[in-house]
Amino acid sequence: MAFDFFTPKAPPLFGLDISSSSVKMLEIVEAGKGYRVDRYAIEPLPRDAVVDGSVNNLESVAESVNRCYKRLGTRTKHVAMAVPTGAVITKKIIVPAGLREDEMQVQVEAEANQYIPFALEEVNLDFQVVGPSPANADEEEVMIAATRKEKVEDRVAVAESAGLKASVMDVESFAQQSALEIVISQLPGGGRDMNIAIVDIGQSLMNVTVIRNDQSVYTREQSFGGAQLTQDIVNRYGMSPEEAENAKRSGGLPDDFESEVLRPFMENLSMEVQRALQFFFTSTQYNTVDQILLAGGSAVIPGLDEVVNTHTQVPAIVANPFVAMQTSPRVQLKRLIADAPSLIVACGLAMRRFDPV
């Protein structure tokens, strides 16, 4: 079965995002000239079921997907999924303009052979024409993307076990970027000529990407994430990791939690962001960042944007791509706002429904 990272597909679909800590499903529909969040569901994953983007325990991930789908309550069976950014090799290449599809395929495979450390039969390979080359009108820029077949097959198997059909296989960073374009469009001047740092705080990794005029100009991954807060709770209160994770989500922690555990975690996180920005300044021509967008599960911590702003002296907001969308009566708005940062990838995937066919 052929999978592609770019080409749109026709049937109605919803976004299915499998991260290290949870399964997220999100369905967005058209509403007048805009969009409406029709339904969504989040289901926690057992510990270590997904590690560094790899499906470790297919059965338990499939069970979580099944439960999430039942809670979602949709009849839609087609899904858009994504492979982890770290599992995908992307490369921009230059080809002669006006190639036919079959000629392009030959050119892309020849180029891919140079950059991909696996045999081509072991990978899913796709490409998309970006546009004319800025340097030469007789050439075009083409983005190629490749990932090991098992990364795709594991996700397809998980979807199929819940009776779902993976129609689109995207890349997490591409899905995130398309959702964040909605957020960026709300910034002054639509974010034009601004250096915007996207800080995605996952379970064990923090990914910082700086975007300027829709192009990524810098990216860096740091070993820091929500698992650190879980470990801090374990160390202070003698809980098991599972108990700490549940308490983190549902509350009920001792009175000193905020001052003794949460605040130091937020300070550490802010210092990690500051470090990432310093690396950005020293390794690029830029020396300013105009806006920080906080995304990922840990961005939901109340007041984190203010702490990051204080440390970095850069305006920071929690990314919410749903701010200009309507919501159906079955969606609790307050809850959606709280969950928004962890639904960024799911949102980008759900928006694939509206790609021109």
**Residue 105: what pLDDT?**
87
Tell me, what CATH number does 136's domain have? 3.30.1490.300
CA distances from 286 to 57, 194, 292 (A): 43, 11, 15
**Residue 204: what pLDDT?**
84
Q: Do 163 and 251 reside in the same domain of the chain?
A: no
Residue 5: its H or E element: none
**Residue 6: what pLDDT?**
53
**149, 164, 196: which is the final residue of a domain?**
149
Q: Do 46 and 1 reside in the same domain of the chain?
A: yes
**Residue 357: what pLDDT?**
62
The predicted-structure confidence for 226-274, as pLDDT tens digits, reads as follows: 999 999 999 999 999 888 988 887 788 999 999 999 999 999 999 999 9
Q: Do 31 and 68 reside in the same domain of the chain?
A: yes
Q: Do 207 and 249 reside in the same domain of the chain?
A: yes
Tell me, what CATH number does 221's domain have? 3.30.420.40
Q: Do 268 and 334 reside in the same domain of the chain?
A: no
**Residue 108: what pLDDT?**
85
Q: Do 78 and 199 reside in the same domain of the chain?
A: no
**Residue 2: what pLDDT?**
45
Domain encompassing residue 111: 87-149
Q: Do 58 and 180 reside in the same domain of the chain?
A: yes
pLDDT averaged over consecutive 10-residue blocks of the chain (357 residues)?
A: 52 92 94 94 88 82 94 96 86 86 87 80 84 86 86 92 92 90 92 95 89 89 91 94 85 91 96 95 96 92 95 96 94 93 95 85
Q: Is residue 186 a contact partner of residue 200, using CB atoms and an 8 Å limit?
A: no
Q: Rounded to two decimals, what is the model's pTM? A: 0.85
Q: Do 26 and 114 reside in the same domain of the chain?
A: no
Q: Do 74 and 176 reside in the same domain of the chain?
A: yes
Cα(3)–Cα(81) distance, integer angstroms: 11
Say how many domains are in the chain. 3
Q: Do 168 and 246 reside in the same domain of the chain?
A: no
Q: Do 159 and 48 reside in the same domain of the chain?
A: yes
Q: Do 239 and 285 reside in the same domain of the chain?
A: yes
**Residue 336: what pLDDT?**
95
**Residue 4: what pLDDT?**
59
